[in-house]
Chains A and B, each alone.
Chain A
Amino acid sequence: MWQKKGRSLYCNRTEEICVGEVKTVEDNRIATHPILAWSRGAPVYVTYDGQQIPAYPQETVAMALYASGVKQYSTSSRFYHPRGMFCAIGKCSSCMMRVDGIPNTRTCVLQVRDGMEVETQHGDGRFPDGQAPMGGVAEKDAEVLVIGGGPAGLEAALWAARSGARVTLLDQNLQLGGQLIKQTHKFFGSAKENAGTRGITIAKQLVQEVAAIPAIEVYQGFTAFGWYQGAVCAADQQRAVLFHPRKVIVATGAAEKMLMFKNNDLPGVFGAGAAQTLMNVYGIKPGNRVLMVGAGNVGLIVSYQLMQAGIEMAAVIEGAPKVGGYLVHAGKIARNGVHIMTRHTVLEAVGSNHVEAAIIAEVDDGWQPIPGTEERIACDTICLSAGLKPSTELLEQAKVGLAYTGELGGWVAKRNWTMRTSNPDLFAAGDASGVEEASTAMMEGKIAGLQAAYDLGHTDVPLEEQKETRRNLDDLRAGPFGAKICTGLKCVEVLE
């Protein structure tokens, strides 16, 4: 039923809104892990809907709440459905809550503070009661502005700085490293380029290298949200800065895709990457029994990591007739007794306030569910690994030439081989320029960083090394798993 116009900005629903009540504060934190260890320190306390919840200083609000058993963060604006988190890395709006009176706060990237007041947000956010604490906008010049501190952004910053450029690096998370900080598995690729080393170790090395270079200035916790005629505005919770850069490298990564099925917004349905963030960054169990949807590399790797964290896997289902990821990853979970079910899809998430089961079914050659094959799978978490979409918002605002390229995850920037877009001052690298691997993202970031420095007139740029990196990148993509990427690149690597 359509509601009348002119309704209040805040929740105008008359019936009672149901919020999953936290009866007992749980502790879903992982004590021991074969690869990881957490030093959590002394707890602080936040207030959640009037109730005291313990949290550890290095946690974000959403993670601390989840660890205590809170699965619902808001109620949706139109249908007042309970909403939990989805991406856990600041990309979606699923975990927005009212924090210290400020609505629409992405709690997954906001660090906890003792005494913080967190409230479930019902419907649209109500305007803050008090004056917003923003104290105007500072302005700063930047020679090379790198947006995103993941594998591509870190390499871009490092190589631009090593070539003589001054670099400003923006990152919206609590710590640098992007998604590398949750990759506990050893990387594939060339032994020359970190293969055999775990992602978490690579992240540590890159962050140390960045810290050792004074020419790189890091703005941690800053989200770049606006492109204003060549200037980039970014903000954290306290202040906003308008950067005037000479060159910009957009390395904003990618966001997990949603799948269409009944009740897909039920708390407990979230991206496989969110599960990884919970367990591998914060040491929090995502659930007790997980159904993984998608048998690409992400789905297979995260399933293995869930088992390493002591969590039971219900099954891995995959719509395609074949496992999409590497067989070696599939082998790791298969030999632990996990059933990989190809030609299967999820039809429905079952539960009132949280996932209690999933209904799955076999699909035919046209990916349509076959009636009569429905099966109920008991689980408290449904992880989606249905691919990623490049985060191109800033590139879109800057109006660089884009091309829809399904092989690369969606809309991506057209560019030349140095990752320079149709705007000569703007580069894209990593998943933001096409979803691939962390190892290839690092190589793209290096190529872009070197080119930005060269374009600025720096003379110390190792151009031979840039070409060599590109050759290595081509070698990595030369196999059957790189064929799709190469097809996609033909559509976007079109600039001179």
Chain B
Amino acid sequence: MSHFETGIIDPLYLRENGFLPSEERQRKGPVAVIECIQEIPCNPCVGACQFDAIHMEGINGIPHVDFAKCTGCMSCLKVCPGLAIFIQDRSRATPSVIVPYEYLPLPTKGGTVTLLGRDGAVLGTGTVRFVLAADKVSKSSLVSVEFDDPALCEQVRNIRVG
């Protein structure tokens, strides 16, 4: 079934269409992955990027990340209304992913959380590296989780606390 039938984006589609950074790039440092594959009228991510790393043709264009320019600074994560941006990082000993998180309770640093995929399936457990609690304006918290299996970087898109 296609993602239009299920709402779940096929990772193969992301890979084949250049939405995912190479393994080599992920080893160099944190990098943003924008899973926004539809032409919708929305552009805050482009303006939020201080490194000119997000490109879009017109307001209805699809955002493309220039992985060479992206520093993984998380500015785009905070503004994306679709909560469709994630940071993948394989540069450190333990691989990690940063996900936007708008539920209660918030996880705590060092705590164990359940790792969930794009379809909500349980992928295992991870340790919370840090939590950037929501600021008054954005109110989206960002949670960084680390885990052992580097292959999970491309799969972890949500967490469950407890």
| A interface residues (Cβ-Cβ under 8 A, vs B) | 32-35, 185-191, 195-196, 198, 201, 295, 300, 307-308, 310, 321-323, 326-338, 340, 342-343, 475-482
Assembled-state Cα–Cα distance A329/B47 (Å): 21
Chain B residues closer than 8 Å to A190, beta-carbon distance: 41, 43, 59
Whether the Cβ atoms of B82 and A326 lie closer than 8 Å is yes
Assembled-state Cα–Cα distance A310/B138 (Å): 20
Q: Which of B25-33, B65-73, B89-97, B114-122 contacts A (4 or more CB under 8 A)?
A: B114-122
Whether the Cβ atoms of A331 and B9 lie closer than 8 Å is yes
Whether the Cβ atoms of A195 and B43 lie closer than 8 Å is yes
Whether the Cβ atoms of B7 and A327 lie closer than 8 Å is yes
Whether the Cβ atoms of B40 and A328 lie closer than 8 Å is yes
- In the assembled complex, the CB of A320 is this many whole angstroms from the nearest CB of chain B, namely 10
Known: A198-B139, A482-B41. A331 touches B82 (CB 8 A): yes
Whether the Cβ atoms of A332 and B43 lie closer than 8 Å is no
Assembled-state Cα–Cα distance A100/B86 (Å): 55
Whether the Cβ atoms of B60 and A331 lie closer than 8 Å is no
Chain B residue, CB-CB nearest to A324: B4
Chain A residue, CB-CB nearest to B120: A337
Main secondary structure of the interface of B (DSSP, over half): loop
Whether the Cβ atoms of A329 and B79 lie closer than 8 Å is no
Assembled-state Cα–Cα distance A33/B106 (Å): 11
Chain A residue, CB-CB nearest to B118: A335
| B interface residues (Cβ-Cβ under 8 A, vs A) | 3-9, 35-44, 46-48, 58-60, 79-84, 102-104, 116-121, 134, 137-141, 157-158
Whether the Cβ atoms of B39 and A334 lie closer than 8 Å is no
Name the one of B82, B134, B140 contacting A329, with C-beta atoms under 8 angstroms.
B82
Assembled-state Cα–Cα distance A330/B84 (Å): 10
Assembled-state Cα–Cα distance A310/B39 (Å): 31
Assembled-state Cα–Cα distance A321/B4 (Å): 8
Whether the Cβ atoms of B36 and A189 lie closer than 8 Å is no
Assembled-state Cα–Cα distance A336/B118 (Å): 8
CB-defined A-B contacts under 8 Å, sample of 24? A34-B103, A34-B104, A186-B138, A186-B140, A191-B47, A195-B81, A196-B48, A323-B4, A323-B5, A323-B6, A326-B38, A327-B7, A327-B38, A328-B83, A328-B84, A334-B8, A334-B120, A335-B117, A335-B118, A335-B120, A340-B6, A476-B60, A480-B38, A481-B60
